[in-house]
Amino acid sequence: MEKKSYISTAQIVLVLFITRLLFSSTYMSVLKTGNYIQDTLFSIPIIFIVNFITAIPLLMLLKRHPGHNPVECTMKIAGKGVGSIVAVFYYLFFLLNAAVVTGNYENYFSATMIPDVNSFLVGFIVLIVCLYGVLKGIETIARFGSIVAIIYMITLIIIFISLEPMMDLDTLKPVFYTGTSYLMSSSIMNYNLSIQILAFAFLAPYMRQGGSLGKAYAGWNLLTSIILFMLMFYIVTVTGSFGAEQMYPLQTLATLTKISSFERLDAIHMVSWILNTIITITLYIYLAISCLLKTGLNKHRRVLALVSGVAVFFVATFLSRNFNFLQVVIDSGEFSIAITFFIIIIPLIVLMADVIKGRVMQDAKNE
Amino acid sequence: MQKTSKKTAKKIIALIACMLILPIVLTGCMPYEELKSESIVEGMGIDYGDNGYNITFQIYNPKSGGGGGGGDNGKNSTSSTVTILQCSGASLFDAVRNATLQNGRKLYFSNTRAYVVGEEVCKENFNKVLDFMERNQQIRPSDHIYIAKGKAADVMLYQKDGEIVPAVNLQLMSENNVQTSKVEEVQLFDIFKNTATGCTDSTISAIAIKEENNGEKTLEMDGSAVLHNNHFAGYLDDKETRGCLWIKSKAQGGVLILNLPEGGTASMEIIKSSSKVSFSGDEKTPAVTVDISFHTNLVELQSQENYTIDGSFLSNLKKIQEDTVKAEAQAAIDKALKDYDSDVFGFGVKIFQNRPDIWHKIGSEWNQNAKNTKVEIKVDSIISHIGLTNQTA
């Protein structure tokens, strides 16, 4: 059984920040914004506020039961049976997200690096590395994530500074000329990408004593929103409507980056992106396994990791060969429903049950 | 004791498993490409052929004097550092793959300096060429593109004495455009961006092979080609190209030769310039105002007259240079916008950005009606320095 580890608030914020940046712009071409790409910028402030609202049930639940994740809270409130069912749901949800990330990684690898390579081989190799990280534990994941966050920030700073002369602020006009349709669709897309709200809840028990849940969450939300906004700002002002049809707009920005005689710095973006992919897949699989460990499988951690890795591998291979599905899944309303169910509805039901149970017990005590 | 031996056995099994699996992941940097299995393309020339496209590649030859290509039916020639490879195909990608029939190595495009498109290809449909370049992951948006006056193959086959890689020469000629501002540095990214707007046409630097008086041929940048709806529309000469650059805020260097009213010429070095385009009409008579401002230095005064460079001289000079720049910009507008119907200046995008309500009414027919736009040019300049003397030599 894994020894209980603790990580700092800053590490949690950095790990969640970096995993949120992974698909910051990859799905933009699905929105088909064309000359109205600037409308998508305003989805970032909206999501900043929405993230606070959607996290309320989770944060309240965690505050009532400090040191426990949502599965443990459910087991405590509703019993082990219901808790186990919830654990399985969360396990599958995290695994699906890990598979989507892996599938996208396989696609990105063959689209931008070596088209001849078998995509499943790419996924296989990266999953071996990720499973190793899963077995090492949350401290290793958090430390690695912090380092990756620093590397990613340095990469972004280089890109931002070198592309500043190419910015054309006129591309920010006109705003909302066709209404709010592009704003809504990009907001939905960003909402679908906010798995980190749930990941935060599962990482909360590992927070060192003295750390504030609310401050940590606010810190993550603010940092992520600022960097996402800057990324989108550069995509809009540098590439304009050309960026709206690009599969990987950030990759395009990196390709245009030039510092003195050093040009085509997309290689440094690729390095950061691949490291980011590894940490994201590792984190999702780790959190998936941590759900099932609470159901009594804590002695089978390694077997669980292996089974989860195999499942992610097969689902990711299927997804990477169904490119339409991979693109649409994040943009779809069905995925929004799934996100809402896992992030809001389940914690809300558990929270309400806890409040009612508390009142009933209080009344019984008073009597 | 038994527990210890079990633990040791497990460790040994785990170690053996790692030793079997690790070589798979320790294969080195994944995106590496072996040089000996790839041919580095420095330049690519695209022309039409009987079977679709005729492509001429300049392939870097690492061994000086060695041959990089070969083939029974290949049209190959080898200079000291580049190998020329010519092949054909029904599409661009087909032609690229057919190159391996002669070369034996896959072509590697990540280091390509110049893409030269023949005039005939541009007349048909430039979009088809663009799609290959936009979709390919090796081709960078920051690569340069040119139009050959004639055949792209002639440009690719031309080698200047002492030039190591001819395509590098093209790239340098383009990047040093700031010395004259008669040449526009055009990257693939500029074309992609203009095409994505749906209403902006592009200009592309034109290359020509000219014959000198002594019979020698020389390669030079010769104005720019104008596209309209991704079809070749015509050429702009040097002055018209610079006029285009004034309007696009890209004239950041070069020389203005001003004819002085009392005889002689003044050479003004362009230091920097900027322009602002604003829309001022309505949907029936769209009107655009272009405000150009620039700074110059007086670098040469050639005249028999003995001028003293004082306030009145400078204000006259300022007026003359503003009129000159206005004439260049007007010539560019007359040629590109009025004659070729090409909105290479981005006026349509400006209308869209500033008056989307008017764009909503005129945007669908902008490609046909752009020439009806009234353009007013206003020029303002500053003469920053006059050199070390205020008299004519």
d(CA A226, CA A268): 22
Q: Which residues of B touch A125 (CB under 8 A)?
A: 24-25
The answer to the question of residue A26 being in a domain is yes
The answer to the question of residue A237 being in a domain is yes
The tokens for A88 are 């399985």
* Regions in chain B scoring below 70 on pLDDT: 1-3, 22-36, 63-80, 160-164
Tell which CATH classification among 3.30.300.210, 3.20.20.70, 3.40.50.2300, 3.30.9.10 matches the domain B241-393.
3.30.300.210
CB atoms within 10 A of CB A57: 21
Counted across chains A and B, CB pairs separated by less than 8 A come out at: 60
Residue B22 is predicted with a pLDDT of 67
Distances (CA, A) of A357 to A59, A191, A364, B37: 18, 32, 10, 71
d(CA B199, CA A97): 40
The answer to the question of residue A252 being in a domain is yes
CB contact under 8 A, A125 and B142: no
The tokens for B238 are 């040097």
CB contact under 8 A, B196 and A255: no
- Phi/psi for A15 (5° steps) reads -65, -45
Q: Which candidate, A298, A297, A301, A320, places its Cα nearest to that of A309?
A: A301
**Percent above pLDDT 70 for chain A:** 98
Q: What is the pLDDT of residues A53-107, one digit of tens each?
A: 999 999 999 999 988 999 999 999 988 899 999 999 999 999 999 998 998 888 8
The answer to the question of residue A188 being in a domain is yes
Q: Which residues of A touch B272 (CB under 8 A)?
A: none
d(CA B281, CA B173): 40
Residue B80 is predicted with a pLDDT of 62
CB atoms within 10 A of CB A358: 12
Residue B25 is predicted with a pLDDT of 61
The answer to the question of residue A4 being in a domain is no
CATH number at residue A104: 1.10.4160.10
d(CA B203, CA B185): 10
- A239/chain B closest Cα distance in angstroms: 7
Q: What is the pLDDT of residues B89-99, one digit of tens each?
A: 999 999 998 98
d(CA A104, CA A281): 11
Q: Which residues of A touch B195 (CB under 8 A)?
A: 242
Q: 3-class SS at B47? A: strand
Q: Which residues of A touch B31 (CB under 8 A)?
A: 113-114, 270
A175/B contact by beta carbon, under 8 A: no
d(CA A52, CA B9): 52
Residue B303 is predicted with a pLDDT of 83
Q: What is the pLDDT of residues B56-112, one digit of tens each?
A: 999 887 765 444 443 333 444 445 678 889 999 999 999 998 988 888 788 889 889
Residues 41-100 of A with CB under 8 A from B: none
Q: Which candidate, B243, B177, B229, places its Cα nearest to that of B207?
A: B177
Q: For chain B, where do the domains classified as CATH 3.30.300.210 start and end?
A: 241-393
CB contact under 8 A, B140 and A111: no
d(CA A110, CA A107): 5
Describe the crossing of helices A70-78 and A196-203 by its angle, rounded to 10 degrees.
70
Q: Which residues of B touch A258 (CB under 8 A)?
A: 142
CB contact under 8 A, B142 and A256: yes
Q: What is the residue-averaged pLDDT of chain A?
A: 89
Cβ burial of A288 (10 Å; 0-12, 13-18, 19+) is buried
Residue A159 is predicted with a pLDDT of 92
d(CA A354, CA B295): 73
| A interface test, pick of B202, B349, B358, B366 with most A CB neighbours within 10 Å | B349
Q: Kindly state the helix (H) or strand (E) to which residue A135 belongs, with its residue range.
A: helix A119-136
CB contact under 8 A, A171 and B353: yes
CB contact under 8 A, B193 and A244: no
Higher pLDDT, B98 or A27: B98
A259/B contact by beta carbon, under 8 A: no
Q: What is the pLDDT of residues B250-294, one digit of tens each?
A: 999 999 999 988 888 999 999 999 999 998 888 888 899 999 999
Strands (DSSP E) along B187-264, which ranges?
A: 203-211, 217-228, 231-236, 255-259
Geometric angle at alpha carbon A42, from A41 and A47, rounded to 5°:
110
Amino acid letter at A131? Answer: L
A271/B contact by beta carbon, under 8 A: no
Q: Which candidate, B331, B332, B307, B315, places its Cα nearest to that of B381?
A: B315
Residue A367 is predicted with a pLDDT of 75
A341/B contact by beta carbon, under 8 A: no
CA B192 to chain centre: 12
Q: Which residues pair with B207 in a beta bridge?
A: B148, B221
CA A5 to chain centre: 22
Distances (CA, A) of A271 to A109, A152, A251, A268, A274: 11, 9, 11, 5, 5
Residue B35 is predicted with a pLDDT of 65
d(CA B354, CA B366): 16
Q: Which candidate, B196, B295, B308, places its Cα nearest to that of B253?
A: B295
Strand B38-49 to strand B106-108: parallel, antiparallel, or no bridges (unpaired)? parallel
Q: 3-class SS at B270? A: strand
**Contact by Cβ (8 Å): A70, A91:** no
Q: What is the pLDDT of residues A130-173, one digit of tens each?
A: 999 999 999 999 999 999 999 999 999 999 999 999 999 999 98
- B373/chain A closest Cα distance in angstroms: 20
Number of domains in chain A: 1
Chain B residues within 8 Å of chain A (Cβ atoms): 21, 24-25, 30-31, 110, 137, 140-142, 189, 192-193, 195-198, 349-350, 352-354, 356
Q: What is the domain extent for residue A99?
A: 9-357
Q: Which candidate, A71, A9, A6, places its Cα nearest to that of A206?
A: A6
Residue B63 is predicted with a pLDDT of 67
Describe the crossing of helices A323-331 and A181-192 by its angle, rounded to 10 degrees.
100
